[in-house]
Structure 1
């Protein structure tokens, strides 16, 4: 009974140690896994609020709040300036950028290709402002809409209200339109302009223009495409991303649906071989730790269990070796010298026994 419990314990440990760790942690579950930030609505980032002239404490925060309200009222999701400023700290050239070449670097950092930039000249209670709507759409990126205004003898609240109204007018041209993103197979993680929005299929809302969409799923090659959302489509546009199986099935722990079993099988094989060897080594020994044999007539009879464990280890090792070979993406059969099962001799009472172990 004790020997059987020991064998079960060793095999359980082998199974646990052999489990693969995926991109989201062991067992494929962890709070660190990327999650969608919203329901798929287009994100607009306030990349810069520049005040020139007389200093007015708190005005930047007020303007930021007004822009956020305008962005969300237009159907977008807002990324406030206070967050973007922290992300672009140390890169002032990007915050000041209005040209297509430097704007193209922002989507990877901010998760969107639509931006708002505000400049306000302040002279006591006189305000002149310029509001820019920018996009990063390759060579066609840059300034898409521009709004200017003057607010003489205004309070800060009046300035914020006027800027907010101008922002709503500019953003109306880019009001998000519903689209459908379908992945084949379903369940692939989708990124739009560098931002995770969910798993396909999903319905999203994007501004008219070009967007970079990426679909990825374990065991498949990522699919990436630049899509164009048309302003006059009339009905939700549908985009399909067909993923191709990766060579050898690159699913993070090895490829095919059975590939994830190779490490548990390898661990179980090692545990079974070790257990079988231990049974054979103690076979025929007296069960007493000391004292004359005549006072301890009972001896261990574990040969049958030992050979059974060794046989199970060989079978499990063969299965694991085959999965390792298949997931390596080679058409050549595995050999003892390269990968798979390697012969070995294990000491036993009265001689030695043949065994095999896995070589990776």
Structure 2
């Protein structure tokens, strides 16, 4: 085949043959795009369930349009009629681009596998403790593998240049005085990375866990290699170093289960009939979709100088529903007290002694 190409190339001017090689490689990329883009659109339209083929097309459609033309161009370089200097430059550029493309192939392959595991362990259900546990590990491992692939790719690219070979070898092996100095300088970052390993596998927190941290209520939105992002209830983002969750105490409301008890405190006068309030709480919960039907309790938990503290306790399937149900119960219980027992709202008493003379 190469002999046939060489024979054909010798019948054409060198510049024309070189242009034909470049144009053929570019057109091949466009041809791949023309074939893959309709497949991507078709798969997007018929997206009813997970498909490895759909995931592969979605992740690789742009990359294939670059990788295959590069492979073809690289295979045609031996029959190209460039001068020696141009041939060396073209070969080196192609080599670097191929290394980058193959690194992207590995990264995209990891993401295809991640898509499958996300489908296999879907967190979009009520009792999703196992799924959140596995997805937390998947995210951390994926980010770690991507970081390793990037470092190795940079090292291989540097090794391909004679004057950069020492730098590439040092980056690849990670030894020497420079590595020790960097290790001391970045010991906090390395500590966070090791803490990330610990969190990924011991899992004091997981993706979508509900936390009380730094006095804020929120959900774990991201667990990165060195930091965690908590989505606060009012859409703010609290970013904390991952080491924080090893060194400092915090509340995890969904550590062992998504179920949670919601609490509402009401402060009234001592004269209020508690049993009627208990019956009203039961009535409100029985008609509400957010209550899971397990716990419905009203108790007198404190007597103070001027008020009586009542605690309404109710069980819910998850923390989001608990918050909404607590607001609902708080609103309707105080409305019931205001309209039915207005004289029992909390009050301050002043007693005048009629025997006292001014």
TM-score, reference length from structure 2: 0.25
More helix by share: 2
Query: Greater relative contact order (Cα 8 A, min sep 6): structure 1 or 2?
Result: 1
More strand by share: 1
